[in-house]
Amino acid sequence: MVVTTMAEELAAHRFFRLIPAELRERLAGCARNVVFGPGERICVEGTHASGFFAVRSGRVNVGIYVPHQGLQVLETRHAGDVIGFSWLFPPYRWQIDAVAGDQVRAVELHADCLLPYLEEHPADGYLLVRMFAQEMEETIQSTRLRLLDVYGRDRVRHP
Amino acid sequence: MSATPETVPSRAGRGSMTPVPHRVVDVVHETRETVTLALEPSSDAIAPPVAGQFTMLWAWGAGEVPISVSALVDGGRLVHTIRDVAGVTKTLCASKRGDVLGVRGPYGRGWDVEAARGHDLVIVAGGIGLAPLRPVVHTVLADRSAFGRVSLVVGSRTEQELLFRAELDGWWHRHEIDVRTIVDRSSPGWSGSVGVVTGELVGLSIDPTTTRAMVCGPEVMMRVVAQHLTDRGVAASAVEVSVERNMQCAVKTCGHCQVGPFFACTDGPVLTWDVVESLLTVREL
């Protein structure tokens, strides 16, 4: 059986791959492995955002709960993605619901551990926030593309 | 060196401009606005098409449009999948068994399936773009051991608008190729992914040294997919896209489908990304 450290697990994850090993070691100290079964809630809108999740395997459905209609899935996140930006800003409340689409393995990183360290080490904080900004840009761009409705009726392929 | 029409080997053939009468022998309503027609020649058959080619379908009294071949069948039968976007396509989609349509072609340069043999293959289709790629999937499944890992990623507006749904399920259950579907908007009961097609590509394991790709869908979608694949190291010359342009004559005469130095009707519609990338970013083209 191969035993890997948390720092090694983070190094294998797309999001953390390019950050310096020292910072990765520090982040590993704030992390733990979590597993969610199909349909299990990962986070709930309006509740305290205590950190973020780095998905290692499985699919996570992210959406917003609509009364009488249930969870409206807006996007699916996969292995290599991160879930959760709300831990970075007041009021530290989840803005979304996230539900495991199938069995999900993830690393959970805790804000109570991370935020004080990042405040004290602004260079590391800047790096991590830049990485989150890139994730946000990709999410926004993906949303823009969907708003284009490229498969819509008025956009015809010839042939 | 950028390719020119002279340097791109053409697999196109120029047929007669006279439509050949074909009778509708089967009609399958795929989705609310998409229909698959099977046609058989009333007299002489046209040359057999290859995957990725198209014909000009003529509805008498309505007009003529280019429609991709969505399956390859022996014996002169033609299979086309048509989306009703008004005009001629509305008339074609309303066809019934026994109706007669005119057919010219086949035209254009199709997918380079032969070049994909021995390689991993990533097929990415968006919306009606699955129709011209379906013959490729059929070819792969008919000779599965000739290809490496094969992945099919299909994007659609909604679950209800997914093309060839039963066939997709069948391909998924065969486990011979990795089939992934993703929709822009989910509906209750949808268990697949939600988002843009690149979201599904992120999870694909890709060996850039041996991967070839075939991409068909809206031009914006093809651009982001091609960029995603080339960012991951896949050679631009190994990424084929089907170029979307208004075609009228289909024989490089009218100029409607010109893209820079190329004519989509004869040099394309299938072109490699290294050839078209710079052209598709010119906004006026």
Q: How many CB atoms lie within 10 A of CB B69?
A: 27
Half-sphere exposure at residue A52, Cβ-oriented, CA atoms within 13 angstroms: 22
Strand partners, B121: B150, B212
CB contacts, 8 Å: B194 with chain A: 61, 73-76
Is B259 near chain A, with CB under 8 Å? no
Domain(s) of CATH 3.40.50.80: residues in chain B: 113-280
Rounded to a whole number of angstroms, the distance from the CA of A112 to the nearest CA of chain B is: 30
> Lowest mean pLDDT: which of A145-154, B62-71, B151-160?
A145-154
Domain(s) of CATH 2.40.30.10: residues in chain B: 20-107
Select from 3.40.718.10, 3.40.50.80, 3.30.230.10, 3.40.50.2020 the CATH code of B113-280.
3.40.50.80
Nearest to A159 among B67, B182, B199 (CB): B67
CB contacts, 8 Å: A150 with chain B: 126-127, 217-218, 220-221
Nearest to B127 among A14, A151, A158 (CB): A151
In terms of Cα–Cα distance, which of B267, B270, B226 is closest to B244?
B270
Per-position DSSP letters for B57-80, written without gaps between them: EEETTTEEEEEEEEEE-STT-EEE
Rounded to a whole number of angstroms, the distance from the CA of B216 to the nearest CA of chain A is: 9
- Structural tokens at position B264: 């989509």
Q: Distance (Å, rounded) from C-alpha B21 to C-alpha B24?
A: 10
Which ranges of B15-104 would DSSP assign to H, the alpha helix? 88-93
Mean pLDDT of B42-68: 92
A74 to chain B: nearest residue by CA?
Answer: B194
Is B231 near chain A, with CB under 8 Å? no
Q: Distance (Å, rounded) from C-alpha A30 to C-alpha B244?
A: 50
Nearest to B85 among A69, A80, A153 (CB): A153
Say whether pLDDT at B79 is over 90. yes
Rounded to a whole number of angstroms, the distance from the CA of B129 to the nearest CA of chain A is: 8
> Lowest mean pLDDT: which of B99-113, B209-223, B239-253?
B239-253
CB pairs under 8 A between A and B: 97
Predicted pLDDT of residue A3: 67
CB within 8 Å of A137: residues ≥ 6 apart: none
Predicted pLDDT of residue B1: 39
Q: Distance (Å, rounded) from C-alpha B247 to C-alpha B65?
A: 8
- In contact, B95 and B27? CB cutoff 8 Å: yes
Task: Provide the pLDDT confidence category of residue A153 given band limits of 50, 70 and 90.
Answer: low
Task: Provide the pLDDT confidence category of residue B5 given band limits of 50, 70 and 90.
Answer: very low
Q: pLDDT digits over B241-269, tens only? A: 998 888 888 888 888 888 888 888 888 89
* Residue B24 φ then ψ, to 5°: -75, 120
Buried/exposed B1-24: b ≥16 CB within 10 Å, e otherwise: eebeeeebeeebeebeeebbebeb
Mean pLDDT of B108-131: 95
Is B156 near chain A, with CB under 8 Å? yes
Predicted pLDDT of residue B3: 43
Is B76 near chain A, with CB under 8 Å? no
B216 to chain A: nearest residue by CA?
Answer: A157
- Structural tokens at position B270: 């299938």
- In contact, B119 and B147? CB cutoff 8 Å: yes
Predicted pLDDT of residue B247: 84
> Lowest mean pLDDT: which of A140-154, B140-154, B164-178?
A140-154
Nearest to B184 among A14, A101, A146 (CB): A146
Say whether pLDDT at B66 is over 60. yes
Predicted pLDDT of residue B285: 67
Say whether pLDDT at B130 is over 60. yes
Task: B274-281: list long-range contacts, CB under 8 Å, 24+ apart.
Answer: B274/B2, B274/B3, B274/B235, B274/B236, B274/B237, B274/B239, B275/B2, B275/B3, B275/B8, B276/B241, B276/B243, B277/B226, B277/B236, B278/B2, B280/B219, B280/B222, B280/B223, B280/B243, B281/B223
Sheet strands (E) in A15-132: 31-36, 41-43, 51-57, 60-66, 70-77, 82-83, 97-100, 104-110
Q: pLDDT digits over B173-197, tens only? A: 888 999 999 999 988 888 889 999 9
Nearest to B184 among A79, A81, A151 (CB): A151
B197 to chain A: nearest residue by CA?
Answer: A142
CB–CB contact A155 B202 (8 Å)? no
Predicted pLDDT of residue B15: 52
Q: Distance (Å, rounded) from C-alpha B169 to C-alpha B111?
A: 24
CB–CB contact B126 A150 (8 Å)? yes
Is B159 near chain A, with CB under 8 Å? no
Highest average pLDDT, of A12-21, B151-160, B184-193, comes from B151-160
Q: Tell me how far CA of residue B245 lies from CA of A155, B125, B139, B257, B258, in angstroms.
A: 11, 17, 26, 5, 8
Count of helices and strands (H, E) across chain B: 7, 15
Task: Kindly report the CATH number that applies to the domain delimited by B20-107.
Answer: 2.40.30.10
Say whether pLDDT at B170 is over 50. yes
The label of the residue with tokens 């996230």 reads: A98
- In contact, B230 and B273? CB cutoff 8 Å: yes
- In contact, B178 and B122? CB cutoff 8 Å: no
Say whether pLDDT at A99 is over 90. yes
Chain B, 30 to 59: residues with Cβ < 8 Å from chain A are: 33, 54
Q: What percent of chain B has pLDDT over 70?
A: 94
Q: Which of helix, strand or coil describes residue B127?
A: helix
Predicted pLDDT of residue A1: 63
Full set of structural domains in chain A with CATH = 6-147 (2.60.120.10)
Q: pLDDT digits over A42-89, tens only? A: 999 999 999 999 999 999 999 999 988 889 999 999 999 999 999 999
CB contacts, 8 Å: A79 with chain B: 203
Which amino acid, residue B153? V
Mean pLDDT of B155-169: 93
Q: Which of helix, strand or coil describes residue B187?
A: coil
